Structure 1
Amino acid sequence: MTLEDVQGRPDTRGIALDEAGVAGLRYPVTLADRDGAKQESVGQVTMSVAVPAEVKGTHMSRFVEILHEHATDISIATMPMVLDAVCQRLGAEQARLQIRATYFRERFAPVSQARSLMGYDAVWSAAADGTSTLLALEVQVPVTSVCPCSKAISDYGAHNQRGHITIRVQQADDVSPLWIEDLVDIAENSASAPVYPLLKRPDERHVTMQAYDNPVFVEDMARNVATQLRDDPRVAAFHVHASNDESIHDHAAFASITWPRASTLGHAGWEKR
């Protein structure tokens, strides 16, 4: 019995669709790290293609088939291969792929060297339009900050807080790939001190004093990150958002920067090159 390909029917309304695909697809993925190792995680996946005006729809099941074939090696370096498969299998000129997952990194406490795993919310994104492929990487990094003003005006102590630095970068063409670890290192170097999942008493003493000796405003953190990214040849564009959950105020403080300012990069991400 031959079943009709309904999605392949022609459409006469003359309206092309920017995107059609699947979203909220949870799937086991294997994430590659900077050192060549791999780790298992669960990704939340969005995949789509542009649909020409004369075509009724796309074949949704093929997205899952392609993801299944490539889910065992996800990194910024492998995303173009997945997009190529999407374009070929669905006969599309434009395609997009986004994978959100928790990325774990082994951390060593600064004094005791106690080992533990730290989880980071990360996003791998790719978009192809038939002539170029845009690759982007995003990670949210928890950090500690000490207020410079509080330290300067207080007889003793200073208020500190936990914050988050979110970095989204567009990968430059024809250079070595960016890795989650690279962005985590940049974020932590831009704050007063890193955050650790496991600290013994000597570690807590070390981190507390490290933060006190390196006070930064939220504006400082955003600028510190931007300075490092701007000088990295692997980075074509970036957006940085730093925020602090203030410990003595009933609000959060934030600062953000997008670079280059004259590009088509928007605050929510990149829509076009």
Structure 2
Amino acid sequence: MHNTTRHASLPDVAFDTAALARPLDWVGMDAMALPIRLQGEGGQALRVPASVDVAVDLKDSSARGIHMSRLYMQLQQSLANEALSAPALRKLLETCIATQQGLSTRALLRLRYDHLLLRPALASANAGWKNYPVTLQAELRDEHLHLSLGFSVEYSSTCPASAALSRQVNAARFEADFAGTRAPSSDAVRDWLSSERGLAATPHAQRSRAEIRVELRPAFDELPLRSLVDAVEASLGTPVQTAVKREDEQAFAELNAANLMFCEDAARRVAAALASDARVSAWRVRVAHFESLHPHDAVASVSGRNA
């Protein structure tokens, strides 16, 4: 009885009339630590930690503030128990608006988390886990759901200019080593190529990163992270590997030789993959090559909207 009486007497100044009254575009909370539910490998559900932002508009100019605790409790309940999907996000945003009891008409949710995907090796039977940082934003306005998905992919980039210069040095050494030989046998050439003499110079390569943000069409209920990652990595041709045996490393070297690229090339490759994706209405790409030749990065950006 004592606790009930004490609770009933607690003041709530949120119901006071606002000074300098005017509506507000967004009010909410940033960087809440909450678990979210994802569909893992094999379809099993798993919970992962996320940093969560939430906001609603405050359309009632006379209201001093929103009900933040209601938003927090709703997010804590929903995100941990229902897997992320477009319908689930729409339902959650509708509920966030409803908790404000007429104060709000729009809601915004932003999730930042790390998504692990199991990736097969190039040649061996091994597989390993790769981490993909994800930012997911969902906004409900005028009863329409707007979804955007951001993620990054790491890959290897071998410089085309450095490759051309290296080939020239290798050719010069071959000419010097076989000077005076009328027609070296194929065995002699093979042995030379397999020796240390057969590699006079190597092109420089570096780990690189593509940062992608896409606006998703509302017709697709599933969040297509895996398929978008697959498409981007396939367009680049040299995604970084996880579990690696010698045969995988050799296959990776072959892929690098077959996919020489400047940062401009990489940006165009990713753009072409996204421009042909029916699930994507708009996209933005930024690639960065963390140079091994220079103490600075080479970067390129491109954006577009699909018809």
Letter paired with 1:27 = L
**Residue matched to 1:239:** 284
1:184-207 deviations in Å (ceiling 9; x for gaps): 112212324111222111111111
1:121-168 deviations in Å (ceiling 9; x for gaps): 001110112332211111111111111121122234211111111111
Post-superposition offset of 1:50: 1.0
State whether structure 2 residue 75 is matched by structure 1 residue 70: no
How many residues get paired? 261
Check whether the contact 1:76–1:136 (CA below 8 A) recurs between aligned residues. Answer: no
The one of 152, 155, 158 aligned to 1:146: 158
What RMSD over aligned residues (CA atoms) do the two structures have, in Å? 1.9
Which structure's residues are more often helix, by fraction? 2
Instruction: Determine the C-alpha separation between the residues in 2 that align with 1:219 and 1:76.
Output: 34
Post-superposition offset of 1:12: 4.2
The one of 4, 9, 13 aligned to 1:6: 13
* Structure whose CA Rg is larger: 2
The one of 66, 80, 85 aligned to 1:58: 66
Percent identical pairs in the alignment equals 29
The one of 181, 206, 225 aligned to 1:180: 225
The one of 83, 87, 95 aligned to 2:93: 83
Check whether the contact 1:176–1:234 (CA below 8 A) recurs between aligned residues. Answer: no
Post-superposition offset of 1:101: 0.5
Using structure 2 for the length normalisation, give the TM-score: 0.79
After superposition, the Cα gap between the structure-2 partners of 1:233 and 1:176, relative to the gap in structure 1 and judged at 3 Å, is farther
SS in 1 for 2:266: helix
Post-superposition offset of 1:76: 4.0
Instruction: Determine the C-alpha separation between the residues in 2 that align with 1:149 and 1:239.
Output: 27
The one of 119, 129, 133 aligned to 1:121: 133
Using structure 1 for the length normalisation, give the TM-score: 0.89
State whether structure 2 residue 257 is matched by structure 1 residue 248: no
Check whether the contact 2:287–2:300 (CA below 8 A) recurs between aligned residues. Answer: yes
Post-superposition offset of 1:233: 1.5
The one of 203, 209, 214 aligned to 1:158: 203
Instruction: Determine the C-alpha separation between the residues in 1 that align with 2:230 and 2:305.
Output: 22
Post-superposition offset of 1:37: 3.7
The answer for unaligned runs of 5 or more in structure 1 is 262-273
Deviates more, 1:223-232 or 1:1-10: 1-10
The answer for unaligned runs of 5 or more in structure 2 is 168-200
Check whether the contact 1:139–1:183 (CA below 8 A) recurs between aligned residues. Answer: no
State whether structure 2 residue 114 is matched by structure 1 residue 105: no
Instruction: Determine the C-alpha separation between the residues in 2 that align with 1:190 and 1:228.
Output: 6
Which structure's residues are more often strand, by fraction? 1
